[in-house]
Amino acid sequence: LSLLNVSCNAQIQYWGEDTYDLENVKFGINVDKYYSKAVDIKKKWKPSEKFDHSMRYYSKDTIECITKDGRKDTIYEYGSFETTHSDVLARFGDFKFPYTGMVADKKGGMIGIIARGYLKNTVEVDSLLLSLAAKYGYMCLFTKSLHDDKNFAWRTNDRTIQLYVKAPNEGIVRTVLYYEEDEKGNHKLTGSGKRLDTSCEVSLFVTKTQYDPFLKQINMGEWCDFHCFDAESDSIYLRGAEKLITELDLVLDAETNYLTIPNGSMPRFPPNAYSDHPDFAYMIYNWLENHAHDGVEETAHGDCDVSFTIDKHGKVKDIKVEKVHFGASGDLKTAAINAIKRLPQFIPATQNGKPVSFRITTSISF
């Protein structure tokens, strides 16, 4: 058993030969040796040559650092090239990262490692945050930029752990295609749609704490996104959030040809004329078309998009007007929120046999 534990905790010896375990970073390794089986892009590759995608490329840069109080040091940064989203060069628990890089001190010993990748949405970001909190503590340092980029940090023993989360680009819209597979394994296009790209770029950085003052001066690639944590940082407590399923988590049900929750079921109306149709999103829209004005004389006119959560008890909460379309008049936001409040209590969504909260976005016309 002791030999097995030693083997499981051992890190890979050369960059790219396997997956680096970010939960057990070992400082002090010879970084030149670590990259010795890769191709130095500055010494062994010319701009006139094509990249050999079967190879691993890296670069090495020298940074002469100086802090505000006059401290000086020399560090070396190593960055990777030509990695793809399908690569898995590092991981923290179940989270995979396709990009890695290292920082070495002037003697060549490793003093920091970075891993970068993309998570599907903010729900996955929260899951990674809680995984880090479970290992390093639920109290952490926190800063937020003007662009809503977030940086979380923990200091423990001789190391600083930082998670940088870049805000999703809400202006990017992706085309989504749905395919159906027949008994022979052939795929037939059954539908398409569009959805906002909610993926979040994240970077995880583990460094020796004594080198924190120099991190701002690392300037290659995404490394410059990191900022030192100082007295201006806030401390926050990370709490485990209720599991929330969104429309981005849905999959196409091969039997009904409608989107549903993996290993679960969508919310449902209580027994009435809207409860039996398999397309829950359509029935929400249909209900609002017929009942948005019930009992209320609204003066608002126009269209808007509204999101809300149906919690694990079937109750509607957290209503938010996402977008008011051109040409709207009157207090359309208030009218839309009032319409959502008049929705009935639902039979909640389920996953793996348990009730879960589900967040949906729909449009309303007045």
Residue 196's pLDDT is 60
pTM of the model: 0.60
The label of the residue with tokens 């920091």 reads 112
Residue 70's pLDDT is 81
- Across 38-47, 158-167, 231-240, least confident range: 231-240
- Across 18-32, 141-155, 290-304, least confident range: 290-304
Confidence category of residue 4, pLDDT binned at 50, 70, 90? very low
pLDDT, tens digit (0-9, with 9 covering 90-100), for 252-301: 887 777 888 888 999 999 988 777 788 888 888 888 888 877 766 667 78
Residue 296's pLDDT is 60
Residue 246's pLDDT is 85
Distance CA 34, CA 102 (A): 10
User: Quick one: what percent of the chain has pLDDT higher than 70?
Assistant: 81
pLDDT at 137 over 80: yes
User: Which string of b and e fits 138-158 if b means at least 16 CB within 10 Å?
Assistant: eebbbbeeeeebbbbbbbeee
Burial of 21 (0-12, 13-18, 19+ CB in 10 A): middle
Higher pLDDT, 325 or 61: 61
pLDDT at 153 over 60: yes
Domain boundaries, the chain: 2-237, 244-365
pLDDT, tens digit (0-9, with 9 covering 90-100), for 216-229: 777 654 554 455 55
The label of the residue with tokens 């662009």 reads 147
State the average pLDDT over residues 39-66.
76
pLDDT at 7 over 80: no
Residue 69's pLDDT is 75
Confidence category of residue 175, pLDDT binned at 50, 70, 90? low
Contacts (Cβ under 8 Å, ≥6 apart) of 108: 30, 31, 32, 76
State the average pLDDT over residues 12-29.
92
362 strand-pairing partners = 306
- Across 50-64, 172-186, 343-357, least confident range: 172-186
- Across 1-10, 87-96, 191-200, least confident range: 1-10
Residue 301's pLDDT is 80
Residue 218's pLDDT is 73
State the average pLDDT over residues 301-323.
88
- Across 80-89, 213-222, 300-309, 345-354, least confident range: 213-222
Burial of 280 (0-12, 13-18, 19+ CB in 10 A): buried
Please name which of 163, 225, 165 lies closest in space to residue 200, comparing C-alpha atoms: 165
State the average pLDDT over residues 154-170.
86
100 strand-pairing partners = 115
What is residue 30's DSSP assignment? B
Mean pLDDT of the chain: 81
Contacts (Cβ under 8 Å, ≥6 apart) of 218: 63, 75, 77, 103, 224, 226
